[in-house]
Structure 1
Amino acid sequence: MVYSDLDYRKTAFIFELDNVLYPEKDYLLQVYYLFSNFLEYTEMTPAKEMLGLMTKVFEEKGADAVLDAVQVEFKLDEKYRQNFAHLMVNAKLPLKLLLYQKMLQLLQDIVVDRKKIFIVTNGHPPLQLNKIRQTDWNGLEKYLTCYFANEYAPKPEPDAIHTLIKEHQLERRELLMIGNGNIDEATAEAAGIDYISVDNFLNFN
């Protein structure tokens, strides 16, 4: 699916950030790299081995299991949990985050057609903002309007979208939400707007 396949009557598009516009693992793996190097410096733990473990646990069990696995394997002091949490939110990444190429093209096509782009993202607002700031938007950043759902009510509650509609004087029929997973789909349904899975653009299906 590409932009020309979409309903031409849509005038505004709402995107989630993680795993919709860019792959979230690109952020997480760089944070793991920074954390493992920090611990090699402070505790003399082997950074390469730690990073390998963190990557493996993330791929097999998800991000929530990573720190616990590292603490058990390397017998880390509990104080490092706070360091990890701080780094996760405030990391200065070695490399810029890159958009999925097909989503970059979609965003560019929307801008050329003079239509609106919104990001409505779940998660801790400072963390999500840090990701946005370190994404290579290819000049598109001036066309983006961002809403952090947790400042209203986390998705699938539609509060952020209701606010967006009111502030920008939009009609629900004008909007299309592009997201990833059941939460985004339920959010769109609750808000009364149309929804398409990002998989249709990235050919994951």
Structure 2
Amino acid sequence: MTEPIHFVHKSLYHRLNELDPWDVSRRSLIKYDGQRFIIPFLGDLYALDPKGELTVLSGREVTPEFEVSILEYLIGAKEIEPQGRWVSLKDLKGGRGFAQSHPLPLDGLLQKYGKDPQGFLKKGIELGGETKRVGDAGIILRPLPRIPMLLVLWKGDEEFPPRLNVLFDPTSQEHLRLDALYGLAIEVIRRYSS
């Protein structure tokens, strides 16, 4: 298991501050208003001042995993569109060993929605997702503009326990390193579970 991120290293803000914010906005598809980036995230809204502050405009408080993922995305996003294919974390470059030592914390979601596919879909739609006909319930979320995620629920029965797959477009690694993508997935799971 990985240790949670406890703080955001200021070097990420320094790296972002060295970049042209209009170029960052164009690459990431995140709005820049001349002073700060305006970041929609699963129905919430945040403002990031490149000099060093991420504030909540509406929604949930910021976790370190979320802040690191946002900063890494703004720094590293490329003008590459998703392919529309879906792979697991272990199928991404370097993901096999990473996924074994960093399993996604899915127990809360499975307890809440393992036998409730309709509730799973309803929550996904509340978070801005769109349904996809896969498994017993599938939701495509776009936590960041160039990073779609597909959550697929297989409900449990007497014979098998419920199962949840979190899938990524292969291009996601063009925008975020594997550990930041993992942090983003944790934040999505956290919000889906609440």
**Structure 2 length normalisation: TM-score?**
0.24
More strand by share: 2
Decide which structure has the larger Cα Rg and report it.
1
**Structure 1 length normalisation: TM-score?**
0.23
More helix by share: 1
